[in-house]
Structures are given as C-alpha cells and as structure tokens.
Amino acid sequence: MSENKFLKKLFQAYYRENKSKIPIIDLLEHREFGFLYWDKSGMMRHLGFRDGKNLKDYLINNGPKHVYSSGSLYLQPDHLDMNKKQYQGCDFIVDIDVDHFETPCKEDHDYWHCKKCGKSGKGMVHKCPECGKLKLENLNWICDICLDIAKREVVNLIYDFLFPDFGISENDLKIAFSGHRGYHLIIKNKKMRVLSSDDRREIVDYLTGDNISFEILGFKNLSLNMSLLKNNIGWTKKIISKVEEILNNYTNDTIIQLFKSKKFGLNDETIEYILNNKQNFLQTLWNIDGFGLKTWEKFLNGIVKEVGVEIDEPVSIDIHRLIRYPGSLHGKTGFKVQELTLRDLDTFNPLDENNKNLDPIIFHSDINQKIEILEDNVAATKIKGQKFGPYAKGEIIEVPHHIAVFLLCKEVAKTV
C-alpha cells in the first residue's frame, strides 16, 4: 500500500469515527469549499454543501488531504464563475504562520537547498547566499518555540489591536490552531464583513505598521516630549510604551542584541549612546545630541517592527480566500485543525496538549511503526514530551504511530 493510500484510509477512518465531533460553521450553506486529495493533483474548489451531514459524508467518502472553506458568503457558492456566485461579504481572516517571519529556532530545524548551485544550509533565507538565486527547496519544521511565538503573536493581535483599537468583542472571534505552523483567526463582524479589499489593506497596514507616518503621529514636532505624546492613543501610545518597556525592563545584553538585529540595524556607537542616555529617551524625542533625523527614524522603524503583528497579508486582503476548516486534518502533519477559545489559547500547547478535547495529535499511540527516511536532513521532532531524531536519508526507524504519520505526511519518509 502506498503512503498516500495509507494516509487517505487513515483520514477517512478519523472522519468516520469522529463524525459527531466535526463542527458545523455558521452559514455553511453559503460558504464555498475547496479540497486537496491524496490521489489527485490541484485543488478542487467551487463546491458547496446544503448542510453539515452532506459535508461530513463527503469527508468520510473522500478522506481529503486538506479541507478549506471560504470566509466569503455567496448565494450560489458552488457556481464555477466567481462573478455569478452572488458575493454577500467576507469575514476578516488573519493567518499567523511562522513560515512568514524569522524565529531563532529555524537555525536548528529548517533546512534549505539551492537547486541552482547546490549550496545547502540551515535557517530562513529568501535567496541563496552563495549564488543569489531564488530557486530554493525548503524543509520547514515545527517545535514548541516557534509555535509559542506564533501563539504570542495571536495574543498581541487580539489584546493590543483588535480589542482596544477596533472594538472587536470576544464573541466575534474564532481562533484555531492551523494543524501545522501557526494559527488562524476569523473575525465574524457584520461591519467588517462588508469591507472591500482596499479597506482590508488599510487595516492590514495598521496591524503591521506598514506605511506608518511619524509626522502624523506627532514624532517630528521638535517641541514635544514623551510626557505630552503619552496621552495620545493608537500607534503613538504603542510606540512610546514599547520604548519604555525596552529601556526600563530589558537587560543591557538583551537591548544590545535587539538593536543589532535586522529590525533595527543600529551600530555599536548608537547603541552605546542609547544605553548611556536611557532617561533622555524616556523624556524627550528629537532634542538629543548626536541623534539626527535619519537615526531617529531608523530607531522608530525598529520599534514599529517590534510592535506590529506578523501576518500573512494577502490572506487578510483577499475577499475570496479559503481557510482551513475546523476539525479537519492537515495533510502535512496529520494534526487536527483545532478550534480554541481565548481561555484555551492561554495554556494551549499543540505538541503536548494535556486536554484531550483540545489535543490536535489525534493519532497518538504507543504502537510502533517501521518507516524509512527519504531526506538527507530531517530535524529532531519533540512531540508528547519525547524527542525523535534527527534522522538522515536511508535510516530505517521504528517510531510511535503518530510520529510515523507526521513524518509520512511531511513526505520525508515511506512505509517499510
């Protein structure tokens, strides 16, 4: 039996045995659905379902690799012509995925290989450091560190932006672990549902801090000081609060590391000056000797990057975007797309969750399975408190069933 046939039957069994637990999203009959399969290439979309029973029967019969539904609402969601679906609006969708931003753990578990010059390495790169080409093969992994960073980003989004700045209520939010490298958040708010793509672009810019104007925020008025600007709201308050947090609460070593990072890119002399003049930074803005306009802007841009939320911007802007269906299985891990409340999110640990009702690792088992590694470098995997790997190509290993499923789904192993 091929790996794909094996995984398809496994996914079918999950949907059959958990039929009553698969959630039914609101207004399901107005949502477009899309699927990727184990035995077919490309996505099948423009599908609709009358009710939850039809959807669940489809999942059981087909055991798809990936399951998606639209944030958009249509009168005819299954029409093949987008212009004839009769669009009614779209929920605001946010995808926070560690694929899109740097985390320190990527130097340990992410691998890349340049198909042009053959150079290989670890970490996150956008182009080959050897030949400069973009033809890279990436093997991205997950760990507690990067998933916790993604979770904190969700928390920041909700408590630092959505609640105070947009007046979004908890009842408007649907939060889910994506089943792989991040989290999804859907805002089901009638006012946001009618926003155009251009409107959503403005919201995204606000959340990320892109295209921010320091002049409009008041940071270029040389007569002002921190105490006057602290009474402002929105991004002005966020910037000042972050400056205070860094200079008051961070150790000097942490500050040096932060200011030397790509976000700031400050030189040693500038960093030393900041450390020796912390109180001046907390009291006045531009009237500090040795700091010109360009230096200040560089510093403030770094602060904005620290405060802004890292999101997959096209997902939030696109009014026809599909998002993973809650309760479905992720074909790259075998993990469940797990819905969460805000209270759940606080302690949720997708790789070692104690609450069985929230545990996304649904194939957890002590029974071992023999598989063969197909990739040159397979990073160590720590799941349920146990570490497996790292592995190299050609190794034949025996691992618990859920680890075997994970490695098969990641396409780095085959059954023996």
Q: Is the pTM of this model over 0.85?
A: yes
The answer to whether residues 273 and 407 belong to one domain is no
The answer to whether residues 120 and 259 belong to one domain is no
Q: Note whether residue 353 is domain-resident.
A: yes
The predicted-structure confidence for 175-222, as pLDDT tens digits, reads as follows 999 999 999 999 999 999 999 999 999 999 999 999 998 888 877 664
Q: Note whether residue 123 is domain-resident.
A: yes
The dihedrals phi and psi of 36, each to the nearest 5 degrees, come to -115, 140
Question: CB within 8 A of 312, min separation 6: which ones?
Answer: 95, 96, 97, 100
Q: Residue 325 in contact with residue 67, Cβ under 8 Å?
A: yes
Q: Residue 383: CA atoms inside 13 Å, Cβ hemisphere, count?
A: 29
Decide: helix, strand or coil at residue 260: helix
DSSP 8-state class, residue 19: G
Q: Residue 316 in contact with residue 92, Cβ under 8 Å?
A: yes
Please tell me which residue, 201 or 270, carries the higher pLDDT value: 201
The answer to whether residues 81 and 177 belong to one domain is yes
The answer to whether residues 28 and 125 belong to one domain is no
Please give the mean pLDDT across all residues of the chain: 92
| Closest CA relative to residue 219, chosen from 279, 161, 160, 297 | 297
Q: Note whether residue 70 is domain-resident.
A: yes
The percent helix, strand, coil of the chain (3-state, each to 5) is: 40, 20, 40
Domain finish residue from 307, 327, 344: 307
Edge-first strand listing for the sheet containing 111-114: 120-122, 111-114, 136-139
Domain finish residue from 324, 345, 362: 362
List 353's β-bridge partners, or say none. none
Q: How many CB atoms lie within 10 A of CB 37?
A: 17
The answer to whether residues 218 and 297 belong to one domain is yes
Q: Residue 59 in contact with residue 22, Cβ under 8 Å?
A: yes
Quote the radius of gyration of the chain (alpha carbons, Å): 24
Count of the separate structural domains present in the chain: 4
The answer to whether residues 248 and 351 belong to one domain is no
pLDDT reported for residue 258: 94
Q: Residue 63 in contact with residue 18, Cβ under 8 Å?
A: no
Strands (E), 56-110: 66-70, 72-74, 87-90, 92-97
The answer to whether residues 270 and 329 belong to one domain is no
Q: Is 211 exposed, middle or buried (0-12, 13-18, 19+ CB in 10 A)?
A: exposed
The answer to whether residues 227 and 187 belong to one domain is no
Output the domain CATH number for residue 409.
3.40.5.50
Edge-first strand listing for the sheet containing 338-340: 92-97, 182-187, 173-177, 338-340
The token duo for 399 is 């691992």
Domain finish residue from 267, 290, 307: 307
List 34's β-bridge partners, or say none. 68
Q: Has residue 22 got a pLDDT over 70?
A: yes
pLDDT reported for residue 289: 58
pLDDT > 70 fraction of the chain, expressed in percent and rounded: 94
Q: Residue 295 in contact with residue 235, Cβ under 8 Å?
A: no
DSSP for 21-66? GS---TTGGG--EEEE-SSS-S-EEEE--SSHHHHHHHHHHH--SE
The answer to whether residues 223 and 303 belong to one domain is yes
Output the domain CATH number for residue 24.
3.90.920.10
Decide: helix, strand or coil at residue 269: helix
The predicted-structure confidence for 231-248, as pLDDT tens digits, reads as follows 778 898 898 889 889 999
Q: Note whether residue 204 is domain-resident.
A: no
Q: Domain range for residue 324?
A: 3-96+169-199+313-362
Query: Cα–Cα distances in Å, from 329 out to 68, 91, 325, 355, 365?
Result: 10, 22, 9, 18, 17
Q: Note whether residue 388 is domain-resident.
A: yes
The answer to whether residues 178 and 41 belong to one domain is yes
The predicted-structure confidence for 312-359, as pLDDT tens digits, reads as follows 999 999 999 999 999 999 999 999 999 999 999 999 999 999 999 999
The answer to whether residues 190 and 66 belong to one domain is yes
pLDDT reported for residue 208: 96
Separation of alpha carbons 158 and 161, rounded Å: 6
The answer to whether residues 222 and 302 belong to one domain is yes
